[in-house]
A = this chain, B = another copy of it.
Amino acid sequence: MKSTTYSRIIAGTMTWGSWGKSFETYGMLSLIERCIEQGITTFDHADIYGGYTTEADFGKAFAESSLKREDIQLITKCGIQYITDKRPHQIKHYQYDAAYIIWSAEESLRNLKSDYLDLFLLHRPSPLMHGEAIAEAVSTLKQQGKVNAFGVSNFTPSQTQLVQEHVEVEVNQIEFSLTAHKAMLDGELDFMQLHNITPMAWSPLGSIFREENDQTSRIHQQLLELMPKYEATADQLLLAWTLQHPSSIHPVIGTTNPERIANSVKALDIQLDLQDWFKLWVAAMGHRVP
């Protein structure tokens, strides 16, 4: 099985469809094209985005374009049973039996109008999941060429190990940012480094542009000091901060603003000075290092 490479910055499509406003504003295809222009060739989906509609919106736009499937990488996720008109469940829950996992991957392929997924993730750990059942489904999907690589999302180290006993886990997509940095302290990213698991980070800008509190104002102040030095925007510095962690984190950026997409990629060229990296971390913590 070939090893898949992802663009270091990944486009998250969660709000590209009906969960956001971008669809009307820019159009799905224009967002896809703008990403590819910038070297962002990996697109992160989940079956549930847009209430099970965004994969299909993306797939349709892509199929009608002249873009080539082999020039992009598609990630999607399964396992959350979300309540929509299409799935009138009684309660939001997780499902990981082998038949469902296979069906869900095939459904995603139909929606994305693709023959294969570059990466297929379990969206959330379930206390009821069985490593064997998961491995059985993933093996089948790989043998049929429907899935190139397999991973998890929001899994702890021991939950990852449970699955890893039965099938290779190549990626864990977790929350990580300057404001949500506990994974770099509690062993989660250490575990991924030790086991050659690629971390992907959702919400990589954290709460900085969403919340006003002591932490975010300390960070804004620090960013203002550093922006002229690096001739960079706040977004870029925040992404650069995450990119510099030795575990090789792949940020999944969620923006639907073409300007910010283009902007983000410049973070790849920023190498923060060691002290500047610590200045940002210290601003996030609110106290100096011990």
Binding site for B on A (CB under 8 A): 89-95, 124, 127-131, 154, 156-159, 161-162, 165, 181, 184-185, 187, 190-191, 193-194, 244-246, 274-275, 277-279, 281-282, 288-290
Distance of A161 Cα from B193 Cα, bound (Å): 10
Return chain B residues, CB-CB under 8 Å to A185. 127
Given A127-B245, A244-B128, does the pair A275, B191 have CB atoms closer than 8 Å?
no
Given A94-B289, A124-B290, A130-B246, does the pair A275, B162 have CB atoms closer than 8 Å?
no
Contact, CB under 8 Å: A275 / B91: yes
Partner of A158, one of B127, B165, B190, B281: B190
Partner of A128, one of B91, B94, B157, B277: B277
Contact, CB under 8 Å: B289 / A194: no
Given A157-B187, A289-B94, does the pair A281, B127 have CB atoms closer than 8 Å?
yes
Number of identical monomers bound together in the oligomeric complex: 3
A163 to chain B, nearest CB (A): 10
Contact, CB under 8 Å: A93 / B194: no
Among residues of B, the one whose C-beta sits closest to the C-beta of A83 is: B288
Return chain B residues, CB-CB under 8 Å to A131. 193
Distance of A193 Cα from B165 Cα, bound (Å): 10
Name 14 interchain pairs, CB-CB below 8 A, sorted by A: A91-B279, A91-B288, A92-B278, A92-B289, A93-B278, A94-B278, A95-B274, A127-B181, A127-B245, A128-B246, A128-B277, A159-B190, A162-B190, A165-B194
Contact, CB under 8 Å: B187 / A156: yes
A117 to chain B, nearest CB (A): 23
Given A185-B127, A290-B124, does the pair A275, B93 have CB atoms closer than 8 Å?
yes
Known A92-B289, A124-B290; further 17 A-B contacts with Cβ < 8 A:
A90-B275, A91-B278, A91-B288, A92-B288, A93-B277, A94-B289, A124-B289, A127-B184, A128-B245, A128-B246, A129-B246, A130-B246, A131-B193, A159-B187, A161-B190, A161-B194, A162-B190
Distance of A279 Cα from B190 Cα, bound (Å): 34
Contact, CB under 8 Å: B89 / A275: yes
Contact, CB under 8 Å: B128 / A158: no
Among residues of B, the one whose C-beta sits closest to the C-beta of A123 is: B290
